[in-house]
Amino acid sequence: MIVVDRPNRNEWATYALRPAIKKQELNNLVNEVLNEVQQDGDKALFRYTEKFDKVKLDGFEVDNDEIEKAIGLVSEELKAAIALAMRNIEKFHASQIRVEKEIETVEGVRCWRKSVAIEKVGLYIPGGSAPLFSTILMLAIPAKLAGCKEIVVCTPANAKGEINPAILYACNLTGVKKIYKVGGAQAIAAMATGTETIPQVYKIFGPGNQFVTKAKELVQQKGVAIDMPAGPSEVLIIADETCNPSFVAADLLSQAEHGADSQVILLSDNSEIINKVNLELDKQLVALPRKDVASEALKNSRAIILDSLDECIEFSNTYAPEHLIIASESASNFVDKIVNAGSVFLGNYSCESAGDYASGTNHTLPTNGFARNYSGVSVDSFVKKITFQNLDKKGIENIGPAIEIMAEAEELFAHKNAVTLRLNEIRNV
């Protein structure tokens, strides 16, 4: 990692930049995919699946035989691990369900809000070199808790036309029935517009590469909701002299191995800690099966020495990381100062991998600085809030005159008249 020693504050924004991509070229390519899928439906999906995933399929929908076969291929050890994770994720997300109170704002005026599930949702599950079966748990569990009626999963097949067994096992375990062998931007296009095989959905969830991310961004402009803007995975770690440098290096590498376009940032007020972590990175990197990927990601990454841990927190809030780890025995002292982060891991034993898999929190989080204004996925992501109000005669009498005055001031006389007619009826005018 490149080491930066005490940069001026006016340079912080530069060091908070993510790796750049060729936006116009990406826009053009993804727009072409979206348009062709909208026009040609399944035919376009077959073409793009053969072109990008290098597999010629006869159909996209996963049948029961494939699911049963996959269940048999998942080890009992992995099944037990998934069951533990599922329990924790379900427990944490179930706690988010709230029944809101009915409020009488003034005598005769009752107002309340109700959560109503989004009827049709689409889940995109990456399935390439790192098949993210854990994302099924993170998305399908809150979708089920919210009460979504139709859950559609799209995930790419391998060169043999098969989906990773753990993905199919997780789908079956969470009750997802509609599973399709489609990946990339074409999968997002299919869920956004619908094809002969794949149903159209109202909101699309899930992580993906730059093509998937761009496709989600573009379909949102056409009226299909998405969970959040997102990009390559990232972590920022604040470490002091009480950290364990080997733990810190392992956490940095756990994000770096996601992809060559991932980014990891290390902040410390102690240059010796930076040196120790860098030595650990070199030691641990050589043993990783995905060391080439992680090495590329480290080229986009940096270690920054600042004057104090308070400054490190300030820089982190500027960066707004997807994952923030405070590797310190006094990590809890900084909780109230954190204002921009997707998910926070406190202390030397709170590894980011815990949130990725089994602590219970959701790992679908805003990246690329969007933690400044977006939250991670929750049960609320799968519902919309509908407000209700009920006014009786006393209620319209209490607020009607104020409405008349306000409507007239805005020169909206039909609005005023809707109130005046009711007041006159009550007064028998």
CA 233 to chain centre: 10
In sequence order, what are the beta bridge partners of 103?
111
The one catalytic residue among 234, 322, 352, 404: 322
415 as an active site residue: the answer is no
Residue 279: φ, ψ to 5°: -65, -40
The one catalytic residue among 234, 323, 352, 363: 323
Q: Cα separation of 180 and 44, whole Å?
A: 15
> How would you classify the pairing of strands 109-117 and 383-391?
antiparallel
323 as an active site residue: the answer is yes
Q: Cα separation of 146 and 119, whole Å?
A: 10
Q: Cα separation of 144 and 174, whole Å?
A: 8
Return the active site residues: 322-323
